[in-house]
Structure 1
Amino acid sequence: MLPSFQTERLFLRPRTLDDFNECLAMDKDSEVTKYIPGPWSDPVQHERFLSERIQKSFGPGLGYWSIFPKEQSSQFVGWILLIPYDGIGPEIEIGWRLNRFAWGKGYATEAARRVLEHAFKTVGVGRVVADIHPENQPSIRVAEKIGLTFVGDSMHDGFPCKSYVMTRNDYSDHYGV
């Protein structure tokens, strides 16, 4: 079982099937999934994909966390992940998806900082990666704010992306630990 976390403004808990409808609704917002390939337009495949991702075990300390603001603890704002890259590995990826109403509030950055701490201090991963669509400037800003380093342009699922990396040493240098 994944641990739950608190930050200054957020509560993060392991994502469960109780979050299914909120996740599904978030994915159906074409602005939210604009830069993310997935089965968003096929309801059957979308529901199957989401159900599998929620129920899958990604390994000790890895998975998805649902994000809730402390001031409205029942309001699902999105999720953050720390899983094997593409669900397979061996690289470990970090990613986030938030409802549009939660954009621009710093929630993704705040949640990602806490999950990075978990990745490096608790799980003991050697490095974390993130591939971000080159036009997804808000996610690029989050990656840079949390200390990930741009390492080059590449392709992910047939789409162009900007690749970011953080090693354990980078984490220590960036966060002074």
Structure 2
Amino acid sequence: MMDVTLQTDRLLLRMFREEDLAAYAQICADPEVMRFLGNGNVLDRAQTWGQIAWFLGHWALRGYGMWAVEERATGELVGRIGFIDPEGWPGFELGWTLRRSSWGMGFATEGAKRALQYAFEALGRDRVISLVRPLNAPSIKVAERIGERLEGEVELFGSKALVYAAGRNPG
């Protein structure tokens, strides 16, 4: 399995580790954080462990996946940013989720911009999507800030998701 690490001025995007479980479980147990993800339900510790295993399996099977996001100044896990494209998914998706105490600090935009650059330059992707629930205004703003534009909508886990997309810049 690849071990790809990315950096920004304030963030380290790295592979999930077993010792991330406690901090990531706190994020996944927050109803406000989980409100627009999947079916909107919080995850318990065992479900969170399963999600981390799923992220790592995605790396093993696809060669890309979701990174744990660490704040470089503190070493604390603040969320996840990266790619998913499991069987039957609407496309190669860039997603982001941060703990509530890290909202509004520009971390999602900063990390997503770096991940998008990686998708185009290192993975050779021509198109990247982000699926965002219509009421998730902060994530819509992140998608727009990283250069994605609204393309349409799909049904995801029984409800509507907006499809934001960005293409590789020519040249």
2:12 partner SS: strand
Sequence identity (%): 31
Deviating above 6 A after TM superposition, structure 1's stretches of 4 or more consecutive aligned residues are: none
1: CA distance, partners of 2:138 / 2:81? 15
Q: Which residue of 1 aligns with 2:62?
A: 59
Cα distance change of structure 1 residues 58 and 139 upon mapping to structure 2, 3 Å threshold: farther
Note the 1:89-108 alignment, pairs <5 A: 89=89, 91-108=91-108
Q: Which amino acid in the other structure matches residue 62 of structure 2?
A: G
1: CA distance, partners of 2:52 / 2:107? 24
Does the Cα contact within 8 Å between 1:10 and 1:111 map onto a contact in 2?
Answer: yes
Q: Which amino acid in the other structure matches residue 125 of structure 1?
A: R
Query: How far is the alpha carbon of 1:150 from its aligned partner?
Result: 0.3
Q: Which residue of 2 aligns with 1:30?
A: 31
Q: Which amino acid in the other structure matches residue 81 of structure 1?
A: G
Cα distance change of structure 1 residues 93 and 123 upon mapping to structure 2, 3 Å threshold: same
RMSD: 2.1
TM-score (ref. length: structure 1)? 0.85
Worse-matched range after superposition: 115-124 or 34-43: 34-43
Deviations 1:64-91 (A, max 9, x none): 111122211x21110102121xx22572
Does the Cα contact within 8 Å between 1:149 and 1:166 map onto a contact in 2?
Answer: yes
1: CA distance, partners of 2:49 / 2:28? 13
Q: Which runs of 5+ in 2 are unaligned?
A: none
TM-score (ref. length: structure 2)? 0.87
1:123 partner SS: coil
Cα distance change of structure 1 residues 52 and 131 upon mapping to structure 2, 3 Å threshold: same
1:140 partner SS: helix
Cα distance change of structure 1 residues 90 and 150 upon mapping to structure 2, 3 Å threshold: closer
Q: Which residue of 1 aligns with 2:47?
A: 46
Note the 1:124-135 alignment, pairs <5 A: 124-135=124-135
Cα distance change of structure 1 residues 133 and 140 upon mapping to structure 2, 3 Å threshold: same
Q: Which amino acid in the other structure matches residue 34 of structure 2?
A: T
Query: How far is the alpha carbon of 1:157 from its aligned partner?
Result: 1.4
